[in-house]
């Protein structure tokens, strides 16, 4: 897999350091509150599993799978829920855990959708954001890294369902995307 990589954007060590900081901050902010961490499948799975082990307060975990219509590298803004939460979030403090915010369209839809379910609060924790491509404003309450306008893979993020298990964040060689 590393043969397909052009460059490393963020190393596994940098990620581990940042995830520990985010976990500490979240633990302080949500102390004494009913926290539910909602992971967005599949990209956020690796981030979520590291993050929850850095959070020192009790929490619930649930997942949603969504698909945004569009090509493999471009989101369209039309979001469909493929797999919904198992738990009711009424009265709970919801923290959405996302892999990356690009146009912001997926997250905007998710925040509004979860707020409508009478959650006490809905906040967002994303590992990566690409401000250059933002189309809608979404508040990112916890944000790991800002990255340039490049298609990132690794640490849960895929290209055509591959590369999720790479330990850091990488950009692939041009010929991989065009083949
Ligand atoms: P948005 O709705 O913010 O445009 O896109 C969010 C989703 O698009 C992310 O959850 C992710 O699945 C996908 N996405 C956006 N940019 C990238 C990227 O650079 N790499 C990968 N692997 N997925 C991305």
Query: Where do the domains of the chain lie?
Result: 12-151
**CATH number among 3.40.50.300, 2.60.40.420, 1.10.3720.10, 3.40.50.2020, domain 12-151:** 3.40.50.2020
For ligand 1, the distance from its centroid to the CA atom of residue 46, given in whole angstroms, is 15
Pick the residue whose CA is nearest to atom 23 on ligand 1. 157
Q: Tell me if residue 63 falls in helix, strand or coil.
A: strand
Q: Which residues are known to be catalytic?
A: 102
Residues contacting ligand 1 via CB (< 6 Å): 43, 68, 75, 98-107, 151-153, 157-159
Contact (Cβ atoms closer than 8 angstroms) between residue 35 and residue 59: yes
Contact (Cβ atoms closer than 8 angstroms) between residue 125 and residue 97: yes
Q: Along the 179 residues of the chain, how does pLDDT read in single tens digits?
A: 889 999 999 999 999 999 999 999 999 999 999 999 999 999 999 999 999 999 999 999 999 999 876 655 666 667 899 999 999 999 999 999 999 999 999 999 999 999 999 999 999 999 999 999 899 999 999 999 999 999 999 999 999 999 999 999 999 998 888 76
- This prediction's pTM: 0.94
Condensed to tens digits (0 to 9), the pLDDT of residues 8-23 reads: 999 999 999 999 999 9
Assign residue 100 a region (left: φ > 0; alpha: ψ between -120 and 50; beta: otherwise). beta
Task: Report the residue among 45, 99, 129, 153 best suited for mutation to probe ligand 1: largest number of ligand atoms under 8 A from its CB.
Answer: 99
Q: Measure the CA–CA gap between 127 and 15, rounded to whole angstroms.
A: 9
Contact (Cβ atoms closer than 8 angstroms) between residue 57 and residue 31: yes
For ligand 1, the distance from its centroid to the CA atom of residue 102, given in whole angstroms, is 6
């Amino acid at each position: 897999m590393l043969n397909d990589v052009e460059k490393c954007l963020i190393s596994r060590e940098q990620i581990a350091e940042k995830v520990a900081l985010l976990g500490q901050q979240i633990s302080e902010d949500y102390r004494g509150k009913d926290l539910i961490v909602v992971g967005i499948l599949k990209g956020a799975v690796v981030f979520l599993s590291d993050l929850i082990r850095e959070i020192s307060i009790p929490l619930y975990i649930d997942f949603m799978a969504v698909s945004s219509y569009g090509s493999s590298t471009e989101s369209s803004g039309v979001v469909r829920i493929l797999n919904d939460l198992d738990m009711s979030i009424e009265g709970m403090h919801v923290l959405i855990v996302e892999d990356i915010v690009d146009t912001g369209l997926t997250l905007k839809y998710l925040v509004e959708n979860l707020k409508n379910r009478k959650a006490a609060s809905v906040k967002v924790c994303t590992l990566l954001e690409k401000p250059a491509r933002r189309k809608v404003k979404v508040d990112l309450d916890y944000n790991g890294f800002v990255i340039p306008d490049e298609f990132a893979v690794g640490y849960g993020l895929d290209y055509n369902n591959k590369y999720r298990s790479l330990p850091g964040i990488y950009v692939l060689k041009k010929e991989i995307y065009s083949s």
